[in-house]
Amino acid sequence: MPRFPIAADATIERLRGGLINQTYLISTAGARFVLQRVNPLFSPAIHDNIVAVTAALERAGLVTPGVVPTNEGEHCLQLPTNQADQPQAVWRVMTHIEGTSFDVVTGPAQAQAAGHLVARFHAALDDLAHTFVGLRSSVHDTQRHMRHLKQTAQSQTSHRLFAPVATLATAILDDATHLLALPDLRPRVCHGDLKINNFLFEGTTPPLRDRAVCLIDLDTVGPQPLAFELGDAWRSWCNRSGEDQEAAELDLNIFEA
């Protein structure tokens, strides 16, 4: 911690629940911060994107976490490791925002609050003049994923799980042929990962749980088709079974909200 402008008497607590980055809560007498070891999926360059986006959000009056620079003024800290497959670790500190996250949408009112916040987020970034770097642009490339699925299914016929996986792959590939082409609209600056637990709400009970505070986990901010952004949001928000359950569902009441 001496590389960041944080008091020496700070305490650190590991936070659980995140799937991508190792996350810790730093507490001092006067403030709290979030320390993260950034997953190597992301280039250190993404912190330039985060700084530009959070500055625009603040100018628009939105609550947002912000990057805390190192004592040398860098947006993140790159340190060597003893891991052959990951010789360098990237660490960053963000300001801490009070709030509660949920893994599953509690109801239409919460979904509506999330939607209102997303609209304000997009509006605040609509005219942002920034050259985004370090993007993982293929994440939502459906045709690329379908080609990879088809190639993998064809090349793994001797795998012990081939039969059940091939059945599922065939169903997915068949459904994909019915997907409509996206309209040719300009990309919008998007969050990039609008699952419901990337929102903070004011509390755990009504009406606080239906008041959205801010969006967190800004590693994926960047330009993309708005359809990808909203489709990914609805995939998360409208599934009352949760992200990792096999029996997924689409709650139309949530969608209509």
**pLDDT tens sequence across 9-29:** 899 999 877 678 999 999 998
pLDDT at 173 over 90: yes
pLDDT at 246 over 80: no
Q: What is the pLDDT, as a whole number, of residue 122?
A: 99
Q: What is the pLDDT, as a whole number, of residue 244?
A: 73
Q: What is the pLDDT, as a whole number, of residue 12?
A: 95
Q: What is the pLDDT, as a whole number, of residue 245?
A: 74
CATH architecture, range 11-95: 2-Layer Sandwich (3.30)
Q: What is the pLDDT, as a whole number, of residue 230?
A: 95
Mean pLDDT of 84-112: 94
Distance, in Å, from the CA atom of 244 to the CA atom of 227, rounded to the nearest integer, reads 23
Domain positions in the chain: 11-95, 108-130+182-256
pLDDT at 8 over 90: no
How confident is the prediction for the chain on average, in pLDDT?
93
Mean pLDDT of 159-166: 94
**Is residue 47 classed as helix, strand or coil in its secondary structure?**
helix
∠149-22-90 over CA atoms, to 5°? 90
CA-based nearest residue to 116, from 49, 215, 182, 189:
215
pLDDT at 99 over 80: yes
Q: What is the pLDDT, as a whole number, of residue 35?
A: 96
pLDDT at 109 over 90: yes
Percent of the chain with pLDDT over 70: 98
Q: What is the pLDDT, as a whole number, of residue 180?
A: 87
Whether the link from the prior residue into 44 is cis, omega within 30° of 0, is: no
